[in-house]
Amino acid sequence: MCLAIPMKVIRKNGSEAIAEVGGVEYCANLTLLPDIEIGEYIIVHAGFAIEKLDEEAALETLKIWQDVAEFTEKRQHRKR
């Protein structure tokens, strides 16, 4: 299963980017999306950037993931 989590490109070196989400940095190959610029959001699968997202969609998706994480954490605490 693949979870599509938007990542923000923070550095770029040729066809390789460093993208960040939640304070964690990931390496992404940009061969499929060579026009990506620093500051843009991407979806990465198997190390390749496969989709570019506009900032509004990326931030909305990240908010949903944050809500899911908070719900899961609260549920885990109730089970104890």
* 20 occurs within a structural domain: yes
* 58 occurs within a structural domain: yes
- Write out the residue range of the structural domain in which residue 52 sits: 7-79
pTM as predicted: 0.84
Q: Are strands 48-53 and 41-45 parallel, antiparallel or unpaired?
A: antiparallel
Domains: count for the chain? 1
Structure tokens at 52: 């570019």
Give per-residue pLDDT as tens, 13-59: 999 999 999 899 999 999 999 999 999 999 999 899 999 999 999 99
* 48 occurs within a structural domain: yes
* 1 occurs within a structural domain: no
Q: How many CA atoms lie within 13 A of 34 on its CB side?
A: 2
CATH of the domain at 58: 2.30.30.140
* pLDDT of residue 67 exceeding 70: yes
Nearest-angstrom CA–CA distance, 55 and 34: 18
Structure tokens at 23: 């304070």
* pLDDT of residue 77 exceeding 80: no
Structure tokens at 41: 């959001």
